[in-house]
Structure 1
Amino acid sequence: MKEEPSDICSQAVLKALYPLSKIYGFVVKTRIFFYEKGILKSVRLPVPVISVGNITMGGTGKTPVVEYIAKYLQEKGKRVAILSRGYAATIKQENSSLAENVCNDEYLLFQENIPNIPHLLNKNRVKSGLEAIRRFQAEYLLLDDGFQHIHLAKDLNIVTIDALNPFGHEHIVPRGMLREPLEELRRADMIMLTRVNQCSHDEIQSIIDRLREVARHVPVVETVHKPICLESLADAARLDIHCLHGKKVFAFCAIGNPVSFRKSIESLGGELLGFRVFPDHHVYTSSELRGLNTEALRIRPDAIIITQKDKVKIKNVRNLWDFPLWTLKMGVRIVKGYEIFENKINAILH
């Protein structure tokens, strides 16, 4: 799990940010109070809404969980649509059939993995929910990053918590990484603890004990982000993940949790010669990609490894690379509490 910086300068900055965190926390709690007391009204849509969100900033593994649930509902024969706010939607799509052709990396990821499930980007999730029902006859709506979106009533409220940094240093932004106080986890119907395979048994138990303190009886489901395969950018050929064992690799990514990506490569036996990290949702420029290839030339890896979230943004740049470029594709698997997950989902199915 991540630890806070211990040097004197960093501690001074954190101390200075503390009052801002208290102010932000007060605003957040006041807003929640207004909704709880009915001063502000939530809107209920005519079909069930399942929200997948988080309580911390950064990557908690939320996107693959949304995909997992979308596929689960589809396998049950249900028509489902995904509603996203469209955060960092700066990528222009050419030849798009949508009225709006600007999207983000998560949209492109869903488009590649679940192309037959509608995905609507709109800050107004009530409006996009009604549009999904009208245009696609959606029977269920999956609200991506919806825990703080109290304006839309939910039938199932799921929170993803990253085992590598579960509690955002126990402080609200900007002092820590919490988007709201930890006790607000009590609003959740289910917690999905992600990446449990990248922490020790004692660390996981410590997280669960803390969740029992703050979230009381909210059930916890444990999941892993499991490597599925390696995919060549050049020709989309799939390789077994064991091909990475013993390979010297250079990797780069622009995701919310680069530590998890690094751990995944190392767990498959890859020897990292270089690892470059960009901000989450970063859109690579041509010069940056050329610079990454130049960096790889200096260290001569057997291959360059990226995430699928990075691949969807650079898949049209195939001829730049002097080394094989492989995407490490991941999928969510529930390792503990599947019955809890199934019962919670099935309870709202009709």
Structure 2
Amino acid sequence: MEEERSDICSRIIQKVLYPFSRIYGFVVKTRIFFYKKGILRCVRLPVPVFSVGNITVGGTGKTPVVEHIARYLRAKGKRVAILSRGYAANIRQETNFPDKNICNDEYLLFKENIPDVPHLLNKSRVKGGREAIKRFQAECLVLDDGFQHLRLARDLNIVIVDALNPFGHEQIIPRGMLREPLEGLKRANMILLSHVDQCSRDKITVITNRLRKITGGVPVIETVHKPICLESAKDATKLDIHCLRGKRVFVFCAIGNPVSFRKSIEGLGAEIAGIRVFPDHHVYTLSELQGLNAEAQSMKPDAIVITQKDRVKIGNNLSIWDFPVWTLKIEICVVNGREIFENKINAILN
């Protein structure tokens, strides 16, 4: 009976949201059409631009991919900068550098992991790109969350598709999770299929075949988000990642894909005693952190496990915890199609 009521409510909500999705979809398609016909003009900068984005809302694993590409370009001896709009950040008007009061998880994450790569936050990615070239002599730019940002021309359009929910329930937001119709994938030069280790091989094959059909044969590169390190949040002491096996842990996170994070922890052999999920980019208050500690106390876990993204937002509020707080660091790993992936990037550089 309860399931039947839930199903009825879901159908009603879907019908209510349908016209809003149609309106949003029309606006998006019109904007894309205007750029395609040159009514709205894109700007080309004098250096290669590598765009990383997605076609759905939510966490596809974009941040580790941006970091991976930036590292790859640096290893090639290139001066690289990352351009972001700066979501969830208190950015001064059209500024490129956040002040000390800004709390942007991705900015803090890049600053910690790739401190030698400038990360510019600017509502205008064109202005941010020009500033990167002028101020840092950037030789190439990585455009973070750039697939729908059509004003800045790019040399390589990389789209990340999450294997756990590749097609956003087949509906445009707010009815579904698609930012634009699936046909928009035709603009991609390469698709990174993420979290392939968390799906069956048959499902991966079905997804890949459909993506190739939609895009006309664009390469689909398979990736996983691999746990690489476990650290003490208090002093960054490295821990053996296998020490999670058999441990009861309490988990909280404010990321786009908490399901994947949970599976990663369980995949390392930990038992999740409890989990609290906050919206992506959520900024924790002290009272919320104290509440999480109290919640953990009721479960008596061996430790609390969080993402690196959450750890940089907690900052110095580490004395409130009654349990060890461990940070699980994750990086992107190409498991199928590495040569194609690197050749695409190298072709632009050459």
Whether these two folds match at TM > 0.5 is yes
Report the CA distance between 1:315 and its aligned residue.
3.0
Report the CA distance between 1:320 and its aligned residue.
0.8
TM-superposition CA deviations, 1:80-118 (whole Å, max 9, x none): 0000000111499xxxx9464424100000011001100
User: Which residue of structure 1 lines up, in the alignment, with residue 47 of structure 2?
Assistant: 47
Q: Taking every aligned residue pair, what percent have the same amino acid on both sides?
A: 72
AA of the residue aligned to 2:171: H
Q: 1:187-226, aligned counterparts within 5 Å?
A: 187-226=187-226
AA of the residue aligned to 2:134: R
Cα distance change on mapping 1:163 and 1:6 into 2, 3 Å: farther
Alpha-carbon distance in structure 2 between the residues aligned to 1:299 and 1:231? 22
Cα distance change on mapping 1:170 and 1:6 into 2, 3 Å: farther
Q: 1:88-237, aligned counterparts within 5 Å?
A: 88-90=88-90, 98=97, 100-101=99-100, 102-237=102-237
Alpha-carbon distance in structure 2 between the residues aligned to 1:226 and 1:182? 28
Is the Cα–Cα contact under 8 Å of residues 86 and 122 in structure 1 kept in the other structure?
A: yes
Cα distance change on mapping 1:47 and 1:234 into 2, 3 Å: same
User: Which residue of structure 2 lines up, in the alignment, with residue 266 of structure 1?
Assistant: 266
Report the CA distance between 1:195 and its aligned residue.
0.8
TM-score by length of 1: 0.95
Report the CA distance between 1:213 and its aligned residue.
2.3
Equivalent position SS for 2:203: helix
Equivalent position SS for 1:347: helix
Q: 1:282-293, aligned counterparts within 5 Å?
A: 282-293=282-293
User: Which residue of structure 2 lines up, in the alignment, with residue 8 of structure 1?
Assistant: 8
User: Which residue of structure 1 lines up, in the alignment, with residue 244 of structure 2?
Assistant: 244
TM-superposition CA deviations, 1:114-170 (whole Å, max 9, x none): 011000000100001000000000000000000001111100000001111111001
Is the Cα–Cα contact under 8 Å of residues 228 and 330 in structure 2 kept in the other structure?
A: yes
AA of the residue aligned to 1:177: M
Is the Cα–Cα contact under 8 Å of residues 91 and 283 in structure 1 kept in the other structure?
A: no
Alpha-carbon distance in structure 2 between the residues aligned to 1:321 and 1:341? 42
Give the unaligned 5+ runs of structure 2. Answer: none
AA of the residue aligned to 2:260: S
Alpha-carbon distance in structure 1 between the residues aligned to 2:336 and 2:178? 25
User: Which residue of structure 2 lines up, in the alignment, with residue 23 of structure 1?
Assistant: 23
Alpha-carbon distance in structure 2 between the residues aligned to 1:319 and 1:67? 30
TM-score by length of 2: 0.95
Report the CA distance between 1:333 and its aligned residue.
0.4
AA of the residue aligned to 1:316: N
Equivalent position SS for 2:288: helix
Alpha-carbon distance in structure 1 between the residues aligned to 2:98 and 2:324? 36
Give the unaligned 5+ runs of structure 1. Answer: none
TM-superposition CA deviations, 1:248-283 (whole Å, max 9, x none): 100000000000010001000000000000000000
TM-superposition CA deviations, 1:197-236 (whole Å, max 9, x none): 0111111111112112211211100000000011001221
When structure 1 is superposed on structure 2, of 268-277 and 197-206 the one drifting more is 197-206
TM-superposition CA deviations, 1:272-322 (whole Å, max 9, x none): 000000000000000000000001111100000000000000131111110
When structure 1 is superposed on structure 2, of 11-20 and 304-313 the one drifting more is 11-20
User: Which residue of structure 2 lines up, in the alignment, with residue 81 of structure 1?
Assistant: 81
Alpha-carbon distance in structure 2 between the residues aligned to 1:99 and 1:235? 25
Q: 1:322-341, aligned counterparts within 5 Å?
A: 322-341=322-341
Equivalent position SS for 1:296: helix
Report the CA distance between 1:15 and its aligned residue.
1.5
Report the CA distance between 1:8 and its aligned residue.
1.2
Output the aligned Cα RMSD. 1.5
AA of the residue aligned to 2:119: H
Is the Cα–Cα contact under 8 Å of residues 97 and 120 in structure 2 kept in the other structure?
A: no
Equivalent position SS for 2:51: strand
User: Which residue of structure 2 lines up, in the alignment, with residue 62 of structure 1?
Assistant: 62
Is the Cα–Cα contact under 8 Å of residues 60 and 256 in structure 2 kept in the other structure?
A: yes
